[in-house]
Structure 1
Amino acid sequence: MPQPSDRSAAPPLPERCPSLLHLLLVGFQHVLLMYGGAVAVPLIIGQAAHLSREETAFLINADLLVAGLATLVQSLGIGPLGIRMPIMMGASFAAVGSMVAMAGMPGVGLQGIFGATIAAGFFGMLIAPFMCRITRFFPPLVTGTAITAIGLTLFPVAVNWAGGGSGTPAFGALHHLALAALVLITILLVNRFLRGFWVNVAVLVGMALGYGMAGLLGMVDLSGLDAAPWVRVVEPLHFGLPTFSLAPVLSMCLVVVIIFVESSGMFLALGSITERPVSARDLRRGLLCDAGASFVAGFFNTFTHSSFAQNIGLVQMTGVRSRFVTVVAGLLLVALSLLPKAAYLVASIPPAVLGGAGIAMFGMVAATGIRILQEADIGDRRNQLLVAVSLGVGMAPVVRPDFLAHLPHWLEPITHSGIALATLSAMALNLLFNIFAEKGRATPCGAHSEG
């Protein structure tokens, strides 16, 4: 097995290969941990675009395929791509708000989302070598605000699901709310009373129990499952040629920059966990893989991809720090992408089940943003104002979608995205309050020296 040229007498931890059984077990655990998050994005977009279950199942398979291939490239390293560390890749939540807004816009839809994803991936490949300079504009104060906004602006999606989904005649009926509550309570109880592996798959446990209960109540419609093939290869451009519009492209490019900042922090953290310091070259390779995955994803009917933070936590928890574990996990994802019946079952999950899980998942995204904000100087009044105003601006289109309706229509993917508005506001106010401030304030509050 080839080793890096700078290795010591003992192979670095990411280069050590456990036994085959160990690889399979831990690799499968990585898949279980990220599977809920991986399929959540196509489920959200499928519902926002009013796709049939068959088409939503196709989106899920496409997402799993790109996630598996991107994981293999990130873990193995191919050409200039891949950080060669135990990284799992999947569709990023950071773009969900913008894509939900695009899905319902005339002239944009899925083709516009895929076009924006392709353009943003290409943009990401262009800026990846310069991210060390760009990250100073995205200290924890800005990224924490942006990620908090992601969670907050997604809560209406979770609440809509919990009530039974948009267009449901019995929206808010007791059986929908009870089912959502069952899923949420299960997730909370697993986290309270169980440990280790079970905590990491708490969302899957809650959704599985909710799905089973929904089946007993006759809320699961599996008509058409028998007609779905057992094996199907995901073909590119299934929904037609991508389209490119300025505002969707700009909105998604902004998302890619946010993903880069978040991924940079995760790569540095993983370097500490695996005892292999991450160099500027490693960082560039990892970010290029993130951007390349997004570029390819647009052609293969899926969305912007990034490294999954929860799997980095699993590396630390299990102590298995070999990149070959995630190679196995990537192969498992590719295999799952070939099974339409499995994706069809996922696509048949009732909205109420997704709502219970969504409240927990989207809340955790917001909580992650709050945790990042703790690294900034929130005691500073100006920084408090930055967070307050940016979150307020970001919530405006969530509270009143028509608030900015009189602005030019080509701006709608930005003006309808609370995430884009919150991020732009945080960037601008950080420039005003910190970067362009008096010389006495040497660096932006909370800025990382390793950026």
Structure 2
Amino acid sequence: MCMKGSGKNMPHATTPQKPQHPAPTGVDEVLPITRMLPLAVQHVMVMYMGAITVPLVIGRMLALPAAQTAILIQADLLTSGIATLLQTIGTRWLGARLPLMQGVSFATVSCVVGIASSPAFAHSQQNEGLRTVYGAVIIAGLTAILAAPLGRYVMRLFPPLVVGTALTIMGLSLLPVAVNEIAAGTGLQAGKNMLVAMSVFACAIGLSIAGHGVFKNLAVIIGVGVGLAVAFAMGQITPHLGNMPPLLAPVPPFPLGWPIFHIMPSLSMIVIVAITWVESIGDAVVVGTMTGRPATPGLVSRLLRADGVATLLGGIMGSFPYTAFSENVALLGITGVRSRWIVALAGALLFGLGLSPFLATAVAAIPPAVAGGAGLMIFGTLMMVGIQILGTQKLQPGNISFIVASVSIVLAMTIVLKPDFFIFMPQWAQPILQSPVVTGCLSAIALNIILSLNRKNP
């Protein structure tokens, strides 16, 4: 180490020195494993409920057998781990190299269910519906990889007005799913279901209000634990180890059969992937500011390309489109530790969890009321985030923002209340018109463009 001194004492002081490499920033710092491991586990716990909720809800809405729902969950965890490793470690052209946890976006639920349950694709019992979904996911992933350099231009289609409308529609369209999970059964069974669900919901709300630190961030997971305890006390859970799958076994590619490709489902899924870009880029901007690694156009392209690769892999492995999880962005701010290697370790843990069909089957056996109580919290929060964004748009009756949001939400909720409302439209358009999220988002994009042009050109 060089020290300052006189030329007499340091005859080579005037010799040019090689530039010193800067010390690793927080985002690149590698901490001792004893410190990294608990932080990585915490990241997994924060996003775990959100990660498993999407395949769990899809399985329930499509009335899939428990074994198939378990495959969806296992494939999701496995691919989430790979997607997180791609995003955090990355290469020169792939991955943002930021501490971003990746998971399946809630935006996919309505689109996936709409395609998988459409009579145009679900002809028999050979999983044609889901295989059509996976074909659409693969096409959307390939499109995202090719379009990644154009991400900053595509984002112009999703100003805060459209994003707020989309998130509000997602929350509103998914809330009936949670309500139906809770309202299953009659008589005494209905009362038990309500008590279980409300124990989850009340615990999650209480911790969100009064909890601090990790307890606040783990409010939903702790609530699920309380709900499981209540369900067990009421006899709704009867654990048994007979006929359980092995502890470790990787899910094979195309677990439900070879994908089926159709144009309209693929276009619908491309729209959904474009919507997930909003969340990914938004999280990258926030985390980039936190870590001193700003979201430059090059970084955004690598970010979206990694999302595309993860989505493509999701279609192959039996999962769905991937995006960054905002819950973990909040955790970075709370802990103050922003090393991407901690999140990479969390990705490796997710990958390990995804190797266990035993764990996936156990998750698939969670009582519907427990999942419904957690869904009330998660979907309600999603809706309120959208409303919060819309609140910044100066909504006044009759102005452009008001018309865009109200018309789009009304169209989406019409489909939620009566899925076959547009049954008179051509068959090729049904996959789009049966998805409230896709229909609402396309309406918001189109109205925003048309009405804005009309304002500029009176």
TM-score, with length taken from structure 2: 0.90
Tell me the residue number matched to 2:97: 84
Tell me the residue number matched to 2:427: 409
Q: Secondary structure at the match of 2:107?
A: helix
The structural deviation recorded for 1:65 is 0.5
Deviation track 1:361-407 (CA, whole Å, cap 9, x = no partner) reads 00111111122223434348221111111100111111112211222
Q: Secondary structure at the match of 2:405?
A: helix
Q: What is the root-mean-square deviation in Å for CA atoms of aligned residues?
A: 1.9
Task: Verify: 1:396 aligned to 2:414, yes or no.
Answer: yes
The structural deviation recorded for 1:266 is 1.2
Deviation track 1:141-194 (CA, whole Å, cap 9, x = no partner) reads 111111111111111111111113xxx566981111111111111111111222
Task: Verify: 1:101 aligned to 2:119, yes or no.
Answer: no
The structural deviation recorded for 1:435 is 4.4
Alignment of 1:227-376 (within 5 A): 227-376=244-393
Contact preservation (8 Å) 1:222, 1:345: no
Could you say if the C-alpha distance between residues 315 and 410 of structure 1 is closer, same or farther in structure 2, counting changes exceeding 3 Å? Answer: same
**Which of these two proteins has the greater Rg computed from alpha carbons?**
2
Deviation track 1:97-141 (CA, whole Å, cap 9, x = no partner) reads 111222222324111111111111111112211111121221001
Give the length in aligned residue pairs: 432
The structural deviation recorded for 1:436 is 5.0
Q: Decide which of 72, 77, 86 is 1:73's aligned counterpart.
A: 86
| Larger displacement relative to structure 2 (148-157 or 108-117) | 108-117
Alignment of 1:207-226 (within 5 A): 207-222=224-239, 226=243
Alignment of 1:162-173 (within 5 A): 162-164=182-184, 168=185, 173=190
Contact preservation (8 Å) 1:45, 1:103: no
Alignment of 1:6-85 (within 5 A): 9-85=22-98
Task: Verify: 1:114 aligned to 2:134, yes or no.
Answer: yes
The CA distance in 2 between the partners of 1:98 and 1:207, in whole Å, is 26
| Larger displacement relative to structure 2 (168-177 or 23-32) | 168-177
Which one-letter code corresponds to 1:236 in the other structure? P
The structural deviation recorded for 1:270 is 0.8
Could you say if the C-alpha distance between residues 238 and 17 of structure 1 is closer, same or farther in structure 2, counting changes exceeding 3 Å? Answer: same
Could you say if the C-alpha distance between residues 396 and 281 of structure 1 is closer, same or farther in structure 2, counting changes exceeding 3 Å? Answer: same
Provide structure 1 residue ranges, at least 5 long, that are not aligned to the other structure: 1-5, 441-451
The CA distance in 2 between the partners of 1:281 and 1:54, in whole Å, is 42
Contact preservation (8 Å) 2:244, 2:358: no
Contact preservation (8 Å) 1:271, 1:277: yes
Q: Decide which of 143, 167, 179 is 1:147's aligned counterpart.
A: 167
TM-score, with length taken from structure 1: 0.92
Q: Secondary structure at the match of 2:456?
A: coil
Tell me the residue number matched to 1:437: 455
| Larger displacement relative to structure 2 (315-324 or 241-250) | 241-250
Contact preservation (8 Å) 1:225, 1:341: no
The CA distance in 1 between the partners of 2:235 and 2:285, in whole Å, is 48
The CA distance in 1 between the partners of 2:187 and 2:21, in whole Å, is 64
Tell me the residue number matched to 2:126: none
Tell me the residue number matched to 2:149: 129
Provide structure 2 residue ranges, at least 5 long, that are not aligned to the other structure: 1-18, 123-128
The CA distance in 1 between the partners of 2:75 and 2:43, in whole Å, is 19
Q: Decide which of 195, 215, 226 is 2:212's aligned counterpart.
A: 195
Q: Secondary structure at the match of 1:143?
A: helix
The CA distance in 2 between the partners of 1:126 and 1:18, in whole Å, is 36
Which one-letter code corresponds to 2:421 in the other structure? F
Task: Verify: 1:426 aligned to 2:431, yes or no.
Answer: no
Which one-letter code corresponds to 1:194 in the other structure? G
Q: Secondary structure at the match of 1:22?
A: helix
Which one-letter code corresponds to 1:20 in the other structure? I
Q: Secondary structure at the match of 2:247?
A: coil
Which one-letter code corresponds to 1:316 in the other structure? G
Instruction: Give percent identity, aligned residues only.
Output: 37
Alignment of 1:168-179 (within 5 A): 168=185, 173-179=190-196
The CA distance in 2 between the partners of 1:267 and 1:43, in whole Å, is 27
Tell me the residue number matched to 2:181: 161
Tell me the residue number matched to 2:15: none
The structural deviation recorded for 1:8 is 6.4
